[in-house]
Amino acid sequence: MTKLALCFGVLILLGLTGTSARADIVFVGPSTDHPTGVGVVPTILSIQSPGSNTHEVGGVGYNGHADFTTGDAIRGNTQTRSASELGISGGNVALHFNINEPIGGGRSTVVVNNITLNAYDSSGHVVFTASLAPANRGITLTMLGNGQGTADYIFSLDAASAAQLSAALAANPNLRFGISADISQAQGGPEHFYLGAGAGPTAVPEPASMLLLGSGLAGLAAAARKRRKANKESSEQ
């Protein structure tokens, strides 16, 4: 009975940790993907701050009939893309980010405040969404000088988000992807985002979830020891 209770408790705790897991976009690192030209890569979002403004905020989505843009998105190189067009059939995706800033004088860095990836069905409903993980928001990135139409850095999905996207694509392989972004300290631009298939990063358990699991197991073990001690004392009497 004790073993059954312990196993049941473990299952409950594992269920709690599973439901508390975040679904995030996470920073991977510098990109080795260097195609040539904006028209070559499947660009989804091009974003540029107007005039002397150094804050770029904008995105592109799909309403069921056509694409729509928001904020500082540049229409010429901004459009949603279908999963089949991008060669994406599962949750392991690579979100490529290219910086296009003046070189020198400390102006070739930008601060990425947020990125959101949305997947739309044919009616324009958002069936999947993931945003930049809190730990990665406000990350400062330096232009690597790969040029427009290439990628300086790669972001990807954590394990929970990749699993959600895989399920969404299994239900509807014809999803369309849109991206929105919030970038500051931009002196030039435009910055570009494109999406493709790629390996996702290794999942790292959340500290809070692991603490909950550890505390719960410790409590169950203590209760079992107390029960055994009580049974032993009862038999000795």
Note the pLDDT tens digit of each residue in 75-106. Answer: 888 999 999 999 999 999 999 999 988 776 56
Q: How confident is the model at residue 20 (pLDDT cuts 50, 70, 90)?
A: very low
Distance CA 20, CA 14 (A): 10
Give the integer Cα–Cα distance in Å for 92 and 200.
Answer: 5
- On the question of pLDDT at 36 being above 70, the answer is no
Residue 120: per-residue pLDDT: 99
> What pTM value is reported for the model?
0.75
Lowest mean pLDDT among 97-111, 122-136, 152-166, 197-211: 197-211
Confidence at residue 206, expressed as pLDDT on a 0 to 100 scale: 46
What confidence score (pLDDT) does residue 13 get? Answer: 36
pLDDT of residue 32: 78
Highest mean pLDDT among 5-19, 38-52, 159-173: 159-173
Instruction: Point out which residues pair with 68 in neighbouring strands.
Output: 61
Q: Is 186 helix (H, G, I), strand (E, B) or coil?
A: coil
CA distance 44 to 99: 14
